[in-house]
Amino acid sequence: MDKSSMPKAFSSHHHWYSSMLNSAKSLYESEPKIIYTYDNAFHGFSVVMNKHELEALKKSPGFLSAFEDGVVTTDTTHSYKFLSLNTATGLWPASNYGKDVIIGILDTGIWPESPSFRDEGMTEIPPRWKGSCQGGQDFNSSLCNKKLIGVRYFNQGTRAAFPENPVPDTARDDQGHGTHVASIAAGNYVDGVSFFGYAPGTARGVAPRARLAAYKVLFGGGYESDVLAGIDQAVADGVDIISISITFRRASLYENPMAIAAFGAREKGVLVCFSAGNRGPSGITVRAGIPWAVVVASGTVDRWFGGSVTLGNGKAITGWTTFPARAAIRNLPLVYNKTLSACNSTELLAKAPFGSIIICNKTEEDPFFFFLWSYLADSNVRAVIIISEDKSLLRSNNFQFPGAIITPAQSVEVVSYASSSTSPTASIDFQQTIIGTEPRAAPALSDFSSRGPGLSYDRILKPDIMAPGELILAAYNPYTTISAPIIGKTLFLSRDYNLLSGTSMACPHIAGVAALLKAAHPDWSPSAIQSAMMTTANHLDNTNQPIKDLGFTDFRNATPLGIGSGQVDPNRALDPGLVYDATTEDFVDLVCSMNLTSEQTQTITRSSYNCSSPSSDLNYPSFIALFNSDERGLTFNRTFHRTVRT
């Protein structure tokens, strides 16, 4: 509530709130009941009331916002809670949190000193582990432990491509990406972390008691040969799950080393997870259409990082920001005019009043956002309010200047106030973490997530499943300055934990869930684990409506070509009922049906298998039927054969 709106007739804010509730009281429901009133940290109250009463209350003078109450615990990698993993029931306790399952991460390496890779609470390393901790430049083999049980690096392909460039002999993560995805999959418990005050709480991976093996295959860039070596070594070392958040150019299965190696891994009982890629929202952009791997799409979570913009008239609007400080932006002059609102040059911003908050318009075609920070740093402006519908800005962890982003709809009142008031002012409060169904329901399909059908093979539906992939907080290289904002031009910040978005972040979520299922059901095959996740996935969001597609401005319903079977539901996957299982021979028969040459077929399947009964009707837990454009208006039958087991 805006306490400044309280009429003088009331002796206390409690009486004011009670009066409003009496006015909003429904004739058909029980009387609203105030639970708490707040007057120190903020102004407002908690109340038991129905939706009709809430709508009436919203019309009261001084009302700012209302949020449904919910269960709270101290948490940071919030996606585990969003996936309903809990300590009381379900997959976590049933799997002993993934105990002794080994996840191999192929990426940019690892930052072993991260608290997420400490081995407190871990038991002895399983004797079946055959891997090693490879030392190297700035990496002592003693840095491995009972959590991070293996480390290797593969750089020979990169060296061959650039013989004149130095390529370090080390698995140390000099970028942060590999550290991030590893901690998402199986990071240990770490208390008291945040991203500069945003998303505070306890970080943990999806399978916090699983083991990690890190394989560095990317050195700035990467080469397929190095990735192939990494997969090969991981299988030899004895990993159970492989997570690969790497994109590649090749579409044909028989030319793709990752597809080929993934086939061999599946044959050895190892489940391989790939990220779908970030080429959405266009269709047919999933390159990793690999039938014997799990391909993962990215979705949002129900967490929003806000900056409250409070106008001088008491109106408060929640915008988006990750500015990393408690900047003192209090009751400053608010400036808006059509000329200055372009904000696209230092000269233009120099005309803004000293110490003001300026309102800037950002259009979809205008790339000024990439230069705005330097323009603002050279000005006398104290803060900025950016008007934009660009969804990519709402994933930015690089807010380099005090300010917030608001939508065009929110801006109507802001601009009207700034234009009509004689002395408009505003304040901005930072470091707010909001959880719930606002500003939009979750999950929703990320606009950047690649869509199917898969380019590699379009007769199996890809992607397979969706998992959290936007603004995921996880461990990072603390010395990578791109991991945090840059204020002005001189101060570089970094952080042990970073917020990142991409299908790269979604993939290790699925790897972690697969590890939990493997621990709970040691006898399940990779196909059974994949089937359990897919057949129990949820196609509804947290408002019980179909999952929406953020790639379209009308937020239409997402299709299976974007979300696959839907959002992973770990607890339901623990007991899926029936599963679609598949053997190596089934995958061989699928490859044999692809009209490849015998050499191309053997490239994937190896010469130990014969094409005895080619069939494209793989025993897979999804269905897709393809029709040509010249078949429009005609009637066809498509028959699928599946075998399920308990």
Q: What is the dihedral of CA 196, 201, 207, 210, to 10 degrees?
A: 80
Alpha carbon separation from 522 to 11, 191, 353, 533, 541 (Å, rounded): 66, 31, 67, 15, 31
d(CA 271, CA 450): 21
CA distances to 78, 390, 550, 553, 591 from 367, rounded to whole Å, are 32, 11, 21, 19, 46
Measured distance CA(469)–CA(485) in Å, rounded: 21
177 given a catalytic annotation: yes
- Here the tokens at position 277 are 């890629």
* Sequence-ordered list of residues with C-beta below 8 angstroms from that of 278, at least 6 positions apart, any chain: 247, 298, 448, 449, 450, 502, 503, 504
**Strand ranges (E), 240-381:** 241-244, 271-275, 294-299, 303-311, 316-320, 329-335, 357-361
Instruction: Write phi, then psi, for 298 (nearest 5 degrees).
Output: -110, 140
Based on the residue annotation, tell me whether 19 is a catalytic residue of this protein.
no
Q: Choose, from 13, 43, 177, 509, the residue flagged as catalytic.
A: 177
Phi-psi region of 277 (alpha: psi -120 to 50; beta: other; left: phi over 0): left
What is d(CA 104, CA 185) in angstroms, rounded to the nearest whole number? 10
The first and second tokens of residue 87, run together, are 């300590």
- The single residue of 79, 95, 100, 107 carrying the catalytic annotation is 107
Chain centroid to CA 394 = 13
Question: How many C-beta atoms lie closer than 10 Å to residue 74's C-beta?
Answer: 9
- Catalytic residue from among 504, 527, 531, 622: 504
Cα–Cα dist 619/587, whole Å: 9
CA distance 340 to 381: 12
Using CB atoms within 10 A of its CB, is residue 272 exposed (0-12), middle (13-18) or buried (19+)? buried
* CB-based contact 456:590 (threshold 8 Å): no
Query: Quick one: which of 260, 257, 290 has its CA closest to 276?
Result: 290
The DSSP-derived string for 25-57 is: --SSSPPPEEEEEEESSSEEEEEE--HHHHHHH
Catalytic (active site) residue 549? no
Collect all residues with Cβ–Cβ distance below 8 Å to 9 and sequence separation of at least 6: none
Residue 516 in tokens: 């939990």
What three-state secondary structure class fits 504?
A: helix
Alpha carbon 454 to its chain's center = 21
Q: Using H for helix, E for strand and C for coil, what is the string for 379-407?
A: CCCCEEEEECCCHHHHHCCCCCCCEEEEC
CA distance 24 to 50: 10
- The DSSP element (H or E) to which 556 belongs, if any, is none
Peptide bond just before 453 cis, omega within 30 deg = yes
Sequence length of the chain is 646
Query: Which residues does the annotation mark as catalytic?
Result: 107, 177, 504
